[in-house]
Amino acid sequence: MRLTIVQSELAWENAAANRNMFARKIAPLAGQTDLVVLPEMFTTGFSMNASALAEPMDGPTVQWMGEQAAKTGAAVTGSFICTENRQYFNRLIFMRPDGTYDLYDKRHLFTLAGEHEFYTPGNKQIVADWMGWRIRPLVCYDLRFPVWSRNAAPHDSGNLPSGTTDSGASGQAKTGSADLYLYVANWPGRRAHHWRTLLAARAIENQAFVAGVNIVGKDGNGHEYVGDSAIIDFSGQPFVQISGQEGAHTTELSLDSLRQYRQQLPFLQDGDVFQLR
C-alpha cells in the first residue's frame, strides 16, 4: 500500500481556505497513492471555538473528503470539528473512494488546553479495513496512552470494552489488532521529543507500521509547531521524517514484511490479558 503523509501550515479557523489548500496538495497524488493522511482539525487548527466552527456530518468537510477520495482513487483521513446531537467532537473520518467511511471520536481530550470543556470524548476504538490492511486511526493526545493503542494478542479478545465496534457509515470498521496506526495531530514543538519518541514506541510495542501527521508554523494561540511527521516501520525505524517545513511524502508499505516480522518475533502472543473500562 502506498501511504502519503501531508504536513502543512493551517489557516487559523478558516475551513474554506484549508480545504482549498489541501485540495491543491492532494491533486497531484491522483493515481499515485492509496491513503492520504491529513492532520488533526485540518480545517481549523486546534481551536476550542467549537460552537462557531463545528460542522454536521452532512456538511462541507465530509463532502469535500468524499470528493478528494474519489478524485485521487485513495482513502483520505483527518479530523475536524463535528457537531452531532448537540455535542461537539474532535472527529476523524476515514473516507474511501467509493464514499463509504468510518469514524473515530478522539478518546483522550487534552485537558491542558481545556479541550474537555468543549468536546465530548469518544468511547469506541475502531479498525478500518482498506486494501487488505487493518488500520487503527487515533488523534494526537491518544498517543500518550499506550493501553488505548494496544494491539490485541491473538488470545486476548477481552481487552476492549463492550460496545467498542463502530461501523460508521460503511459497516466495515471493527475492533481488534491492527497493521497500521495513524496518529493525526497538532503537537506543539516544545514537546517534539515526546512526539518522536512515542511514535516509535507505539510501533515497537504493537509490531505495526505507524504514521504520525503533524502541522508546522504558528497557530492562532501563538503555539509553534515543527511537524516531525513520520512514517515508521514495525521495528521502530523511520522511513521518513518531515521537520520544520511543509511537505508531502509517499512510502510503499509491505504487509508481507510485517507478517514475516511478527512470525519471526511473536512477541504479541505473550501480552497481558486485561479489560478496559
Q: Specify whether 40 is catalytic.
A: yes
Catalytic residue among 40, 82, 115, 124: 40
Catalytic residue among 13, 106, 115, 124: 106
Question: CA 89 to CA 120: how far, in whole Å?
Answer: 6
Question: CA 244 to CA 185: how far, in whole Å?
Answer: 15
Catalytic residue among 13, 115, 124, 140: 140
Q: Specify whether 106 is catalytic.
A: yes
Q: Specify whether 124 is catalytic.
A: no
Residues catalogued as catalytic: 40, 106, 140
